[in-house]
Structure 1
Amino acid sequence: MDKVGVVAVIPAYNEEKTVGGVVEEVRRYVDLVIVVDDGSNDKTGEVAEKHGARVVRHVRRRGVGAAVATGYDEALKTGGELFVQLDADGQHRPEDIPRVLAPIVRGEADLVIGSRFLGGKAPDMPLTKRFGNWLFTKLTKLVSGVEISDSQSGFRAIRREALETLFLHGVYTYTQEMIIRAVKEGWRVKEIPINVVRRYSGRSKVVTNPFSYAFRAMLIMTRTIRDYNPIAFFGGLGLVSLSAGLLLSAYILVTVITTGRVGAYPRLILASLLVLSGVQLLFFGLLADMLKGVSREIKSQVRRA
């Protein structure tokens, strides 16, 4: 398989009306376009192929996360050095691809996010979606410590070396998790302003159930905190459990002093379990933090090799 320089990854579901035009335009700026047909029941895959894309198909719909993971896995096989991701619905302008890639080419960033909120012009989106984007962006900033304005943007570019470390286990990270993991792995994240256009037709099919998406995104962000800051994650849980156990133990002790009776034995058992669980979680957090340090050193040596 011939190596290529820039590879575009486009997840698509039932986008036969728009994907062809998107592929045609994107091909002007990249060496290869990979479209992941996420179990579409229309001719999305056929249209994309007709317009020159390499199409990878899911037998059934697996969701945007799995589609992006499949696309990046396929892109890595090509030997490409730079990867750009955008949507199939036409909202992202292919002519912005060089601008999104530019900070990586100049050596200023490893992951570049195309922000819809930079530049002073807010995108046209429903109030609920705008609030969700604001909330997840705030959480992403809190967890990662990086200043970001649009954590959910699907228009982004990443360098090969960074992508390989973010997908070592073949598990897709949602948009927020990719940013958090990139920062925690020591990669440079940068935003540039982009403009988006209204969909050519229909409505967005990337997220059909916003509540399900929000729940999964929260789980992923929680896992990310667990993986990269185990002291805070397990230590926080341990302190809560230990504090509750000690408070309940104090209540039982006061009861014994004032009444001369222990009281309900289940309460005593619960207090003991809470204290033991709290201590175990604290020690587990310390152990996990030690293992994280070893893992970081191994990754650092691999990068230098």
Structure 2
Amino acid sequence: MSKSTSKKHNKAVIGFVATSANLAKLTQSIVDATSEGYQVLVTPDSTISDRELEFVVKLDPQLVSLVPSADERGPPYLRLVDAASEKGSRLFVYHVDDSQFDSNDIESDSLRMGNANNATIRTNNESLRNEEKTIAAIPAHNEEKTVGEVVRDAVAYVDEVLVIDDGSSDETPAVARAAGATVIEHERNRGYGGALNTAFREADERGATTLVTLDADGQHNAADIPALVEHQRETDASIVVGSRFVDGATCNAPLYRRFGIKVINVLTNLSMGVVRSESWVSDTQSGFRAYDRQAIQSLAADNTIGDQMSASTDILYHAHHYNYRIEEIPIRVEYDVEDANSANPISHGWNLVSNILRTVERERPMTALGVPGFLATVVGVMFGYLFVVQYLTNGQLPVGIAVLCALFTLAGMFACFTGIILHSMNRVLEPNVGTVSQR
């Protein structure tokens, strides 16, 4: 091999995925690549036969190597990445279904070459490990009037838009598809949390490095997506919340709704044991959030996230449990939109408060039962003291005080013991999930 050819050979490894559909183009592309001195890796997909693959590899046994699929090393492109990493070589993955190999592309300054984990890939169909991929997920139920515009706005800022159609009875799925979204349809209405659960699983399966969730009714401004994504990557926060209540945010929510949300914010933060202002989440009910890869994966596997509106709070409990870092940035929220969320604020608020109380009882039994039980026992003892004083002073048995003494003392002791037992059970049954350090 000449010196010039050897020099080109050391630049990069060219990886091809062999399919039955691209066999003709693949053969020519391999010939072109090897003639330029590049080493070639070929891996099959499920459509190509072993005989066809043997023919391809025999084109140049010295430069063409087969990366088999039998070892179950994952999707084709990831198998190429692993093989190039083992060789210590830089990798360029070329998808000949889209275009044939061109050595000028390798030389182009516009194509970034690096180690195998930062491989460049020319395809729309699959993503590589560590390649940044941002997906926007939009839960939607009967939002045919607004979802199209929301999708069209979001498409400009992300790699893919997913609309999770939650059992709509109108044309929401068709409108979303026409606007450019990938639509995942629920056969029945499962609720906002159910749609979010589907979004996390779909984003995980698609290899998303960032997932942005926003509402389908047009209240959120898709132009704020880049700010959430950029802040998430700059701070390395697992979750970035688009807040309506931090400096710089604009929100024209009615006064009663703002008041109700702030009450829920206080209860949610206290239920998580958050008292420091720097750790306080100012908008616990915001549906406009960005999640990193780690959060996507753990939330996709968490079956405790509820199906209803309380899912926003459940996700924060999840993040608190895993010690994920949460950041907030200001967003613009417009409530004067057609067919905005019309959920009854009283029933909605009661459901959220009920969920918070249940979670506190489950996650913090000493706070929910132990402390109130202790206080009730103290009150019972005080009534007992009054009972003794009045009996010794007047010689009469104060029945009312005796009943209160017994009621508070017994109830308090029962609550204390129940809290202690539940706390002990939580410690014993708690899964060994490891601790994610505060970043």
What TM-score do the two structures reach when normalised by structure 2? 0.59
Alpha-carbon offset, residue 218 of structure 1: 0.6
Partner amino acid, structure 2, of 1:152: Q
- Within 5 Å, which residues of 2 pair with 1:36-75? 36-75=164-203
Q: Which residue of 2 aligns with 1:203?
A: 339
Alpha-carbon offset, residue 197 of structure 1: 4.1
Structure 1 position 137 matched with structure 2 position 265: yes
Across the aligned residues of Structure 1 and Structure 2, the Cα RMSD in angstroms comes to 3.2
- Within 5 Å, which residues of 2 pair with 1:2-81? 5-81=133-209
Partner amino acid, structure 2, of 1:115: S
Residues 54-98 of structure 1: per-residue CA shift (max 9 Å, x gap): 323344544333332333344334343321100112222223222
Q: Residues 115 and 150 of structure 1 are in contact (CA less than 8 Å); yes or no, is this contact kept in structure 2? A: yes
Partner amino acid, structure 1, of 2:365: P
Q: Which residue of 1 aligns with 2:216?
A: 88
2:185 alignment partner, SS class: strand
Tell me, in whole angstroms, the C-alpha distance in 2 between the residues paired with 1:125 and 1:249.
51
2:295 to 159, 162, 170: 162
Q: Residues 3 and 80 of structure 1 are in contact (CA less than 8 Å); yes or no, is this contact kept in structure 2? A: no
Alpha-carbon offset, residue 216 of structure 1: 0.9
Structure 1 position 221 matched with structure 2 position 349: no
Tell me, in whole angstroms, the C-alpha distance in 2 between the residues paired with 1:78 and 1:237.
47
Q: Residues 7 and 34 of structure 1 are in contact (CA less than 8 Å); yes or no, is this contact kept in structure 2? A: yes
Q: Residues 154 and 175 of structure 1 are in contact (CA less than 8 Å); yes or no, is this contact kept in structure 2? A: yes
- Residues 160, 278 of structure 1: alpha-carbon distance in 2 compared, 3 angstrom cutoff: farther
Tell me, in whole angstroms, the C-alpha distance in 1 between the residues paired with 2:389 and 2:296.
57
1:298 alignment partner, SS class: coil
Q: Residues 136 and 176 of structure 1 are in contact (CA less than 8 Å); yes or no, is this contact kept in structure 2? A: no
- Within 5 Å, which residues of 2 pair with 1:120-269? 120-144=248-272, 145=274, 146-166=279-299, 168-172=302-306, 173-197=310-334, 201-205=337-341, 207-254=342-389, 256-257=391-392
Structure 1's unaligned 5+ residue stretches are none
Q: Which residue of 1 aligns with 2:419?
A: 285
Tell me, in whole angstroms, the C-alpha distance in 1 between the residues paired with 2:297 and 2:436.
12
Residues 37-66 of structure 1: per-residue CA shift (max 9 Å, x gap): 233332112211233323233445443333
1:26 alignment partner, SS class: helix
Q: Residues 113 and 157 of structure 1 are in contact (CA less than 8 Å); yes or no, is this contact kept in structure 2? A: yes
Report the count of equivalent residues. Answer: 300
Residues 149-207 of structure 1: per-residue CA shift (max 9 Å, x gap): 322221101123234445622423432343344234311000012223455x52312x5
Structure 2's unaligned 5+ residue stretches are 1-74, 76-124, 128-132
What TM-score do the two structures reach when normalised by structure 1? 0.82
Alpha-carbon offset, residue 239 of structure 1: 1.8
- Residues 42, 268 of structure 1: alpha-carbon distance in 2 compared, 3 angstrom cutoff: same
Partner amino acid, structure 1, of 2:171: K
Q: Which has the higher helix share?
A: 1
Partner amino acid, structure 2, of 1:98: P
2:350 alignment partner, SS class: helix
- Residues 92, 230 of structure 1: alpha-carbon distance in 2 compared, 3 angstrom cutoff: same
- Residues 197, 276 of structure 1: alpha-carbon distance in 2 compared, 3 angstrom cutoff: closer
Q: Residues 143 and 180 of structure 1 are in contact (CA less than 8 Å); yes or no, is this contact kept in structure 2? A: no
Q: Residues 165 and 183 of structure 2 are in contact (CA less than 8 Å); yes or no, is this contact kept in structure 1? A: yes
Q: Residues 253 and 335 of structure 2 are in contact (CA less than 8 Å); yes or no, is this contact kept in structure 1? A: no
Question: Which structure would you say has the larger RCO, counting Cα contacts within 8 Å and 6 or more residues apart?
Answer: 1
